[in-house]
Amino acid sequence: MKATCWMGMRKVEVREVPEPKILNSRDAIIRVTNTAICGSDLHFYNGFIPGMKKGDVVGHEFMGEVVELGREVGNLAVGDRVVVPFPIACGRCEQCTREMYSLCENSNPNAWMAEKMWGYSPCGIFGYSHMLGGYAGGQSEYVRVPFADVGPLKVPDEVEDEQALFLSDIFPTGYMAAEMCGIRPGDVVAVWGCGPVGQFAIKSAYMLGAGRVIAIDRFDYRLEIAREGGGAETLNYEDVHVLEALQEMTGGRGPDHCIDAVGLEGHSPGPGFIYDKIKTNLYMETDRPVALREAILACRSGGTISVAGVYGGFIDKFPMGAVVNRSLTIRSGQCHVQRYMKPLLNRIIRGDIDPRFIITHRMHLDEAPDGYDMFFKKQDECLKVVLKP
C-alpha cells in the first residue's frame, strides 16, 4: 500500500509499504478515506521530535472505513465509517478510567524512552516517533488501530467525512484548550497562534461563554479567518507590541485567560527569537517558547495560561516569577480526544460549528510531500491540508 514516510529533516515521501495486519484481538484495520497534516507533524518534519526513524509511516488525523476487526471489537462492524482519535488508549487503565486518555498507561510499548525524557510516559500516538510507541500512522491507505473497541467513533449518515475528520485531533484540542481556561461568562481570552488549533480554540472559547477573544499571529490570511469566521479581534505581532496592545484592549489588566496554540516552534521578530534559535541550534535548549513567555507576561493576575501547543523538552528564560507572584494557573496536556468526540460530534450535528471552515487544500495522498512543504511555508494561504488516498 502507499504511505507517507518520514525520510529525514524536511523530507517525507509516499512509498510502498506492507499492508497492516491485525496483531491483537482489539485491533481494527481501517481503509483511510481522509487524513490531514497537523501542526504537530511539522515538529518531526523540522527535526524537533526525537525517536523518528527513516521510513516511519506518519500521520495521526484520519478517518475511514472498517475493513477488518479483531475478535474482541464488538462495537464496530466491517463497513462502518469511523473517525479515529490520535491518542492510543486502552480504556481500562487508571488514567483511562479517569478519562485522561492521552496518559494511557498501556499503549506505549517504548515507555522507557519517554520516561528518560519526561519521568513517566504518556500514551502512544499514531505516526509520532518510536518514543511514543512506534505506531504506523494514518497518512496512508490502510492503518492498524489498536484498542478499536475504545477509540474510533462511528460517524452518523448526516455528517460528511470532512465534517467529522477533525474530531480526530484539532477540534477537541482547541476545545480542551478553551475548557482548561475555566471561562466565566464575558471573560476575555487571548489566543496565540491562528493555525488550525488556534482557530478551533477561538470558536470554542465563544461556545464556552467568552465575551471577547483576541487572536495573535503574523499571517494576515490566518488573522482574517480568526476575525471574519471566528469573531475574534486580531493583533499582528509584526505590527504591534503585543503586551502593550493587550493591556490597552483590557483596561490595563490583561486578558483573563491566555491560550498558547503555537508550541515549541514559536517565532518572534524580537531579539528573544535569536536567543532561542542559537540555543536550540547548540542543543542547549530544545524548544522555542516565545509565545508561552509572552502569554504568561500578558495574562491578568490570577488568570489562566492554557498550553495546547506542543513542547518537547527543556526551555529557558521561563518567567516563573510572574507565575508565582501573580497567582497564575498553568494547565496543559495532549488532548484527551476520546473524552470530547461525542459531545463535539453533537455540536456538529446541532449546527453549532462546521469544522470544514478550516480546510484550504484538498490533495491526493501522492501529493503529501507538496502538502507538507506548503503547510510548513504557509504558502498559498494554506491553513489545513486534507489528503485523500
Residues that bind ligand NAD (CB under 6 A): 38-40, 42-43, 169-170, 173, 192-198, 216-219, 222, 237, 261-263, 266-268, 290-291, 308-310, 334-335
Beta strands in 237-359 (DSSP E): 257-260, 304-307, 329-332
* Antiparallel, parallel or unpaired: β 233-236 and 212-217: parallel
The site partner of 263 among ligand NAD, Zn ion, none (C-beta below 5 to 8 Å per kind) is ligand NAD
The site partner of 93 among Zn ion, ligand NAD, none (C-beta below 5 to 8 Å per kind) is Zn ion
Q: Which of 264, 258, 261 is nearest to 329 (CA)?
A: 258
Q: How far is the CB of 274 from Zn ion (least distance, A)?
A: 29
Rounded to an integer, what is the distance from CA 155 to the centroid of its chain?
21
Q: Which is nearer to Zn ion, 137 or 303 (CB)?
A: 137
The site partner of 194 among ligand NAD, Zn ion, none (C-beta below 5 to 8 Å per kind) is ligand NAD
Q: How far is the CB of 302 from Zn ion (least distance, A)?
A: 31
Q: Which is nearer to ligand NAD, 296 or 335 (CB)?
A: 335
The site partner of 32 among Zn ion, ligand NAD, none (C-beta below 5 to 8 Å per kind) is none
Cβ within 8 Å of residue 178, ≥6 positions away: 189, 201, 204, 205, 207, 208, 210, 259, 306
Q: How far apart, in whole angstroms, are the C-alpha atoms of residue 52 and residue 172? A: 26
193 to 33, 238, 259: CA distances (angstroms): 29, 13, 9
> Which residues pair with residue 153 across a beta bridge?
83
Q: Which is nearer to ligand NAD, 27 or 217 (CB)?
A: 217
The site partner of 261 among Zn ion, ligand NAD, none (C-beta below 5 to 8 Å per kind) is ligand NAD
Q: Which residue has the cell 495573535?
A: 216
90 binds Zn ion (CB under 5 A): yes
156 to 82, 164, 287: CA distances (angstroms): 9, 9, 40
Interface stretch with Zn ion, choices 46-54, 85-93, 274-282, 372-380 (CB under 5 A): 85-93
Residues that bind Zn ion (CB under 5 A): 38, 40, 89-90, 93, 96, 104, 106, 169
